[in-house]
Amino acid sequence: MKWTEPLLLEHQLTHGRDGRQKILVRMGLPRWADHYKWACTFQLVGRRRGNRYRSGKIYTAEGGDAIQAINIAASAIRRSLDRLQNVSSDTVPYEYIFPKYVPIGYGLEFHRYLCDVLDREIDKKEEELTKKRLARKRRR
């Protein structure tokens, strides 16, 4: 399908066993859909031969506000890319562009638990890096 939406981002990535297959990822600007929701379109387009892109279906993520619509679209893109082999980019890893979403669909209590686990692991890593920095300073 042809992309006609206002563009928020577009990234070209490679994937596959040999890392030579191309995929173009697009995400549109969020837009007001109706009285109760916002929408954010996105598309993943694969490459078959030469420079001819195979048209990818355009999907729409809906949310209660623009940020939620963007988050849902980015999460769907991330899940799609995670299913591919050897995804890479010449600029920045796709994990930075489309970060992993901490799910809330299993309830608020479980979401908070996952956030606490992440926070504890981040704190442990910060302590480890701080100790290494201090050790380097002492050696100087």
Do 26 and 74 lie in one domain? The reply is yes
Domain residue limits at 68: 1-101
**Mean pLDDT, to the nearest integer, of 3-11?**
94
- 3-state secondary structure at position 75: helix
pLDDT score, position 125:
98
Whether 69 and 135 share a structural domain:
no
Partners of residue 7 on adjacent β-strands: 28
- pLDDT for the residue 50: 45
Residue 92 has a pLDDT of: 92
DSSP state of 100: P
Residues 39, 61 share a domain: yes
- Give me the number of domains the chain comprises: 2
Q: Is 6 found in the same domain as 49?
A: yes
pLDDT number for residue 14: 93
- For the whole model, what pTM was predicted? 0.82
pLDDT tens-digit map of 13-71:
999 888 889 999 999 999 999 889 999 999 999 864 444 446 689 999 999 999 999 99
Q: What is the pLDDT of residues 91-131, one digit of tens each?
A: 999 999 999 989 889 999 999 999 999 999 999 999 999 99
Average pLDDT over residues 73-83: 94
pLDDT score of 49: 46
pLDDT of residue 119: 97
Amino acid sitting at position 50 = G
Helix (H, G, I), strand (E, B), or coil: what is residue 121?
helix
Q: Please, are residues 13 and 89 in contact by the beta-carbon 8 Å criterion? A: yes
Q: CA 5 to CA 57: how far, in whole Å?
A: 13
